[in-house]
Structure 1
Amino acid sequence: MLKAAIVLLLVATLVSLFSGLFFLVKDEGRSSRMVTALFVRVSLSALTIALIAWGFYTGQLRPGFG
């Protein structure tokens, strides 16, 4: 369950990344939508890192490929 949440957050981060790129090209810097996309991306990344740390702390995630 935790791994699925982490993957979902990573996908959402990528969507936010590409939406920021779209707003950069489309708006040419005249709108705050790119700044909003950046804020969302940073928040999602911080949440992903927090979930990974929580997974290691609780033992749900282990280092390695096993």
Structure 2
Amino acid sequence: MFKALLVVVFLAAVISLFSGLFYILRDRGQSSRTVHALTLRVFFCMLLLLLLVYGIYSGQLMPNHPWPV
């Protein structure tokens, strides 16, 4: 379930990135929709990073290589 949440947040960040690109090309800088889309992307990326840290800390996600001792 936790990994599915990570995938959903990642896809939301990618969709927000491409919607920002679409708004840049379509509006030619005349509206603030690009800023809103890219602000959402930053939010989703920060949420993804926090979820990854939480997942590793709680043991729900295991890195491929063990931490150096």
Q: How would you bin the TM-score normalised by the shorter chain?
A: over 0.9
Sequence identity of aligned pairs in percent? Answer: 46
Residues of 2 paired with 1:13 and 1:42: CA distance?
Answer: 8
Residues of 1 paired with 2:64 and 2:8: CA distance?
Answer: 21
> Residue deviations 1:8-50, cap 9 Å, x none?
1111111001100000000000100000001000000000000
Q: Normalising by the residue count of structure 2, what TM-score does the alignment of the two structures yield?
A: 0.91
In structure 1, the gaps of 5 or more residues are none
In structure 2, the gaps of 5 or more residues are none
**For residue 45 of structure 1, what is the aligned residue in structure 2?**
45
**For residue 35 of structure 1, what is the aligned residue in structure 2?**
35
Q: Normalising by the residue count of structure 1, what TM-score does the alignment of the two structures yield?
A: 0.95
User: Which entry has the higher C-alpha Rg, 1 or 2?
Assistant: 2
**For residue 64 of structure 2, what is the aligned residue in structure 1?**
64
Runs of 4+ in 1 over 2 A off after TM superposition: none
Q: Secondary structure at the match of 1:60?
A: coil
Report the RMSD for the aligned CA atoms in angstroms: 1.1
